[in-house]
Structure 1
Amino acid sequence: MSDLDSLAPQRTPTSSRPLLGMTVLAVEDSRYASEALRLMCLRSGARIRRADCLRSARRHLRVYRPSVAIIDLGLPDGSGAELIKELDRAAPRVGVILGTSGDARTEHGVLGAGADGFLLKPITSLGTFQQKILCHIPADRRPNGPYGITTERINPDPLAYRDDLEHVLNLLDGGHDAPVLAYIAQFLEGVAQSAGDSALAAAARRLGGTAGTDAVPPIVGLIEKRLQNRLAI
């Protein structure tokens, strides 16, 4: 049964900061995607904590219970659907559970695992982010009176994208085992799509397809070129 007390804001939400007083746990391995969520929480009045894997998220959840959990599906130590199931079945339940992925086809599985909603990456619309949360909380926990839906778009710091690209290079330096390459392919494709880097996203898809290790050198070359040229990011 849902614990609605976890949604009770310490301060009254306003039309400009509709999530004021709430705490969001973002379970997300991408620094670029995490930066987008951080900026959205900041604009909305919510506090945010980040976990970059299932193990870290579970460690956080042993200490505190957030108002909202936003969980990426493709994590380095397993599927975010596992954590969604755990949180949905827990008593008390986290107030709002959202799954997120760059693959729209995963929405059905996310909802089937127990999530209240789904956020398709890239998450750029502040209004969509706010509404996905607000529509799942009681009316008396929302801002008083009518409020407009913002059209603001969120643009994360490009330096966060560089951090993700450097992370991929470090993973590739560690070896080319099939599970590692599978993780890199889905991680890199999602990050590149979020950053609008179509060439790198296409290279990541080839890595996740039939090209296998043959796709590694082109990816390394593309990443190194971007890291050398800040203006290209």
Structure 2
Amino acid sequence: MDELLLTPAPTARRPLLGLTVLVVEDSRFACEALRLLCQRSGARIRRADSLENARRHLAIYRPSIVLIDVGLPDGSGTQLINQLAQATPRIEVIIGISGDSAAETTVLDAGADGFIAKPIANLAAFQSAILKHLPAHRQPPGPRAISDEMISPDLIAYRDDLHHISEILNNTDESQDIAYVTQFLDGVARSAQDDALGKAVQNLATLKSEGDDLASGVSTLNELVAKRIAAGGPL
């Protein structure tokens, strides 16, 4: 009861006021979009970029909501979803996120309350995806204004993601790293609506799945990434 009295009450304009969201996401571009969405909704946000950092964070802080990306550098986000879903006391809302809509079934089977497909940019859709899983005392009073606002993350975060992947592409021959590169860049390309980059990512993923030589696919992808870094954004 004391906690409820101390926590700011949600409002129609800021329906997540008083809540803390932990975003477990390795893409700075995707995380920047979620930061803006949380800010517009009244929620505080914390970020972890790996399973290890998320667990370290959760050992100290208890968020109201956790958004967990499926593809992380040190494993699948479904591991953390399953762990949190079985914990007592349970975090109020656990939601899986991914650029691959086919991941929804896996996420829900792991114990998540819901799933949001990337790119995540529509303010009203983001708020609704969370509010429908919150208890009555967390709901805003009266009718909620539905906003058509679309979030546009800063392209500095986009370039940060590309620099991260460029370093991996230039310093690895490991297929495990290629699997990470393709899942990471697929999400970034979707979020940035960069179709050409997305096609190059899918081509590399296909080469890997068919056991073909990856050199041409890596070279093409590296060239596209370098061009976007130089241009400061999608071409």
User: Structure 2-normalised TM-score?
Assistant: 0.93
Q: For residues 125 and 6 of structure 1, what CA distance do their matches in structure 2 show?
A: 31
CA contact (8 A) 2:155 2:233 kept: no
In the alignment, residue 219 of structure 1 is paired with which amino acid? L
Q: How many residues are matched?
A: 230
Q: How does 1:124-163 map to 2 (within 5 A)?
A: 124-163=121-160
- Answer yes or no: is the 8 Å Cα contact 1:6–1:65 preserved in 2: no
In structure 2, distance between residues paired with 1:168 and 1:118:
26
User: In the alignment, what sits opposite 1:195?
Assistant: 192
SS of the residue 2:183 aligns to: helix
Identify the range of structure 1 (200-209 vs 47-56) with the bigger mean alpha-carbon deviation.
Answer: 200-209
Question: 3-state SS of the aligned residue for 2:59?
Answer: helix
CA-to-partner distance for each residue in 1:113-144, whole Å, 9 max, x for gaps?
00000000000111111111111111222111
Structure 1 partner of 2:227: 225
- CA apart distance, 1:148: 2.0
* Contact 1:9 1:21 (C-alpha < 8 Å) held by counterparts: no
The answer to whether the 8 Å contact 2:69/2:77 transfers is yes
- Percent identity of equivalent pairs: 53
Match of 2:174 in 1: 177
Task: Render the CA deviation track for 1:156-183: whole Å, top value 9, x for unaligned.
Answer: 0111110000000111222120100011
Query: In structure 2, do the counterparts of structure 1 residues 191 and 8 end up closer, same or farther at CA, with 3 Å as the change threshold?
Result: farther
Equivalent residue for 1:61? Answer: 58
TM-superposed deviation, 1:106: 0.9
Secondary structure of 1:49's match?
Answer: strand
Conservation of the 8 A alpha-carbon contact between 1:6 and 1:66: no
For the residue of structure 1 that corresponds to 2:102, the secondary structure is: helix
CA deviation profile, 1:179-228 (whole Å, cap 9, x unmatched)? 00011011111101110111111111111112523211111111111111
The match for 2:25 is 28
The AA in structure 2 aligned to 1:64 is Y
User: In 1, distance between residues paired with 2:92 and 2:167?
Assistant: 37
**Structure 2 contact 192–234 (Cα < 8 Å) conserved:** no
Gaps of 5+ in 2: none
**Equivalent pair of 1:6/1:67 in contact (CA under 8 Å):** no
- What is aligned with 2:41? 44
> Structure 1: which amino acid aligns with 2:115?
F
SS in 2 for 1:176: coil
Q: Could you report, residue by residue, the CA deviation over 1:19-52 in whole angstroms, capped at 9, with x for unpaired residues? A: 0010000000000000000000000000000000
The separation in 2 between residues aligned to 1:219 and 1:190, in whole angstroms, is 15
- Matching residue of 1:92: 89
Read off the aligned partner of 2:169 and give its amino acid letter: L
What is the one-letter code of the residue matched to 2:228?
Answer: R
The whole-number CA distance in structure 2 between the counterparts of 1:231 and 1:114 is 37
Tell me the amino acid that sits aligned with residue 181 of structure 1: I
In structure 1, what is the equivalent of residue 8 of structure 2?
11
RMSD in angstroms over aligned alpha carbons? 1.8
CA contact 1:26–1:49 (8 Å) conserved in 2:
yes
2:216 equivalent to 1:214: yes
